[in-house]
A and B are shown apart, each in its own frame.
Chain A
């Protein structure tokens, strides 16, 4: 496993390239098929409203997957992740219009953990419509 970012080249505070991920209904339908999560709150507005949601919401795991891309795009190797965890704090509401929603993700190196293992902790933030949608979003990443 070979991350393209070298452990020696980062320090606590190093920022990862931020990313914006657009989400529309078609994207959610596609994710439902690929992941096998067909809960109607992710594609059926009538059902979502019946259970008290403002509208269709994105799969939490879709948001987690997109946030993770900020790390795997940075390292170049999906296998560089040692640990990855999040808390789902607010739903990403996806209206049925031209824009849909956008998930904004930033990340930075919070600490260098182990010089032998070349591992760092990366803290992520993810927001949509100005609200924090993930909490405690952290990863341990093995660098090159």
Chain B
């Protein structure tokens, strides 16, 4: 079933605020094996000009994806979520995410496409801090794979 083009441009209400903690950044950096001291040591971060420890670049996906998932699971969209895979991912940064940030994401459906029975949905998440300043834009393209012929 092709997705209705009228969904393009639809914007969803902002997410609940997400408070970025130093220990969460440390946990994430350790999980990806990133030993950069700017992720764990406030003084090392300060030496690079950051007011607090900074998150590795893909950290923010955890909160943007929660929102993108909510969007593609919108029952009105009619996407079979059990067949969804991640196709493209892109981040455009104004500044790195850092400890102490209180972030919220506003998601918009950028495009919907059908390609050989696969349904592709591109979602843009605008991530802002507690003062309303832009931090990063997250572009996520998800594909619901066509049902294979039995």
Task: Tell me the count of chain B residues lying within 8 A, CB to CB, of chain A.
Answer: 35
Please tell me if the beta carbons of B58 and A64 are within 8 angstroms of each other in the complex. Answer: yes
Given A61, A66, A79, A82, which contacts B48 in the complex, CB threshold below 8 Å?
A79
Least Cβ–Cβ distance between A135 and chain B, in angstroms = 9
CA separation between A60 and B139, bound complex, in Å?
Answer: 15
**Residues of the A chain whose Cβ atoms lie less than 8 Å from the Cβ of B33:** 21, 66, 69
Report A-chain residues with C-beta under 8 Å of the C-beta of B50: 1, 79
A21 to chain B minimum Cβ distance, whole angstroms, is 7
Q: Which residues of A contact B85 (CB under 8 A)?
A: 88
Q: Tell me whether B121 is interfacial, beta carbon within 8 Å.
A: no
A35-B31 contact given A2-B48, A78-B39, CB 8 Å threshold? yes
Contact of B32 among A37, A66, A81 (CB under 8 A): A66
A111 at the interface (CB under 8 A from B): no
Does B89 lie at the interface of the complex (its beta carbon under 8 Å from any beta carbon of A)? Answer: yes
Cα A85 to Cα B34 in complex, Å, equals: 19
Which residues of B from 1 to 42 have beta carbons under 8 Å from A?
27-28, 30-34, 36, 38-39
Q: Which of B56, B87, B92 contacts A65 (CB 8 A)?
A: B56
**Closest A-chain residue to B94, C-beta based?**
A82
A1 CA / B98 CA spacing, docked (Å): 13
Chain A nearest CB, measured from B41 CB (Å) = 13
**8 nearest A-B pairs in the assembled complex, by CB-CB distance:** A85-B90, A34-B31, A79-B96, A65-B32, A65-B58, A34-B28, A31-B31, A30-B31
